[in-house]
Structure 1
């Protein structure tokens, strides 16, 4: 079991993040060039494998456990009609994540996909607006039942934001101690594409209409209303520093996912980015700790219009495009086998010399 140090505070956690190992990546790249295949024949898998080598510190990377950490939280802004579903869906979905089913624990999409690829699912109450029943698999980290309405006041206090960041970090440490080398932050919270869009618009200096999508599938009228709500939030506060933006415009589950990303990177584990809400946490994280970018592996570009802008700003290329917009970490779980496969090619393929195959450089 991996022993994971506990950061004294957020500044310690940020300071612990170091760049991916350039020497290891150079050796991995040199080995990649000698493998029994034409140069570049494995396409993007080759770059993924080299990046994983640098993250894990081994030119023959051997990632094992996969964990998806689903943080659930409610949002005051959801009462403003920005979603096609009522806020009551959030606690109902938490129950679904934890339910016993004939196939195994959990009846949501993320559970089904996680079982398929052998990933472990962790569920956190980051601020659900309901009395959640006791469950041995539920991690309780809520400081309050949902955020305030970001269009009229700060979503949370700075202290609440930092508490949730460190709670997310603690869950990531637990997952790594349980054997995870690939960490997938996930989320559930009706209305959470609204704070994600607000954060993205502010940090990328874009108009809300450029980054506001349909979320749960709202119609044109509600989409226009959603953009107006976000515009009101941006007009309300001039906050631009990353933690201030999180407190003013974010969600409790976004804060928790930020902590998961920072801690995984500090422990030199790969972070698989699921979608738009996760991308908003990543934007904050990379501003706080630029080396975090080295540890981020986007799964797919989701159907939310602002996700492409996030990935372009981060300089990251997604692995696929399936028009997903569910959240929960589902896209990240689907991407895990691609990363495991990329690592296997670098680790297990023989070089031309090792295989006595003519044609090597």
Structure 2
């Protein structure tokens, strides 16, 4: 696996950034979380005049062997069918990314089936789905490393288009199972608090899902983050992990989506904690474990809309709010420039 050199933003500029924010024509702190976002983007870009250039969302799709153990409400072929839906512009992420002028890329990280007649799908397939981790590790360490490297290479290519803000979505039937066990192993939060309903399991099926995942989690005791990823992960989760690490190396703003994407971040930050300095958390998923994931990362999301769709939809919906934070930083008058009296002392 390639090594990632991630330099933390220089916080010496923070006082100047905060001074600029505080002396806009408003009471101190009156723009609330927008001020926090403006400060984060400015720190990442190391400037008092941040800008968002050529925003991208990349959706990675892959199948999961654990789906064979009945942990999902939908059959495995839905992964392939949904990729076709992305290609045809019919998914929620197509709507939201188009609405906000975000470049959307679709990646086959490991879908069961081929897309030879679909040039708009980026072929980064590792295999046609992972193995069933109820029986054996989902992938080898070599496959996990290859997936990370491919995700990183794609982001490096995107960075050459001057893109400086990027989000990652996913599609993969049963990937909430992978994400839940990764969460359990990285955070040490009890597994029953990590497992959710995924695509909408009823109470009976949720109990069955928990039993399958509890048996699998107790079967293996991986110690290192790459071992956790290779044992329980998906090819899309692994490629997102590499993509996030590379995005941080490129000093991009990283838009963190929901439960699955955050599970990739758990692996990424375990490999290199500096990646967190480049992240903006876009929304809190309605998948039950996501709130605890965010608490573990000391992260406050921009939105809470009771969504649990994935695809990068939360990142796309949060993007215009981040735009607003950057715009007030650049365009809002200061007390001095507007000739407005500041607070009396």
CA distance in 1, matches of 2:132, 2:317: 33
Q: Which runs of 4+ in 1 moved over 6 A?
A: none
Separation in 1, partners of 2:343, 2:120: 51
Unaligned runs of 5+ in 2: none
Deviation, 1:315, is 0.9
Residue 284 (str. 1) matches residue 273 (str. 2):
no
Offset of residue 59 of structure 1: 1.6
Mapped partners of 2:257, 2:337: distance in 1: 38
What is the Cα-based RMSD across aligned positions, in Å? 1.2
Task: Specify whether residues 109 and 319 from structure 1 end up closer, same or farther in structure 2 by C-alpha distance, changes over 3 A only.
Answer: same
2-side partners of 1:211 and 1:196: how far apart?
A: 8
- For these two proteins, the number of residue pairs brought into alignment is 344
Q: Deviations over 1:296-331 (max 9, x none)?
A: 111111101110111111111000110111100011
Which residue of structure 2 aligns with residue 113 of structure 1?
96
Q: Alignment partner of 2:56: what SS?
A: strand
Please state if 1:156 is matched with 2:139.
Answer: yes
* Partner SS state of residue 104, structure 2: strand
Q: Does the 8 Å CA contact 1:28/1:53 hold for their aligned counterparts?
A: yes
SS of the equivalent of 2:79 reads helix
**TM-score, scaled to structure 1:** 0.93
* Kept in 2: contact 1:34–1:360 (CA 8 A): no
Matched, 1:88 2:77: yes
C-alpha displacement of 1:60: 1.6
Which residue among 42, 49, 68 is the counterpart of 1:79? 68
Structure 2 residue 168 is the aligned partner of structure 1 residue 185: yes
1:277 to partner: Cα distance: 0.3
In structure 2, the residue matched to 1:302 is 285
Matched, 1:204 2:187: yes
CA distance in 2, matches of 1:312, 1:179: 33
Ranges in structure 1 where 5+ consecutive residues have no aligned partner: 1-8, 100-105
* TM-score when normalising by structure 2: 0.97
The CA distance in 2 between the partners of 1:26 and 1:74, in whole Å, is 47
Task: Determine the C-alpha separation between the residues in 1 that align with 2:162 and 2:102.
Answer: 11
Tell me by how many angstroms 1:360 deviates. Answer: 5.1
Rounded Cα–Cα distance in structure 2 between residues aligned with 1:360 and 1:347: 22
Of residues 125-134 and 307-316 in structure 1, the stretch that sits farther from structure 2 once superposed is: 125-134
Which structure 2 residues correspond to residues 1-361 of structure 1 after superposition, within 5 A? 9-11=1-3, 13=4, 16-99=5-88, 106-359=89-342
The 8 Å contact of residues 91 and 132 in structure 1, kept in 2 or not, is answered as no
Corresponding residue SS for 1:10: coil
User: Helix, strand or coil: the match of 2:168?
Assistant: strand
Q: 1: CA distance between counterparts of 2:210 and 2:16?
A: 48
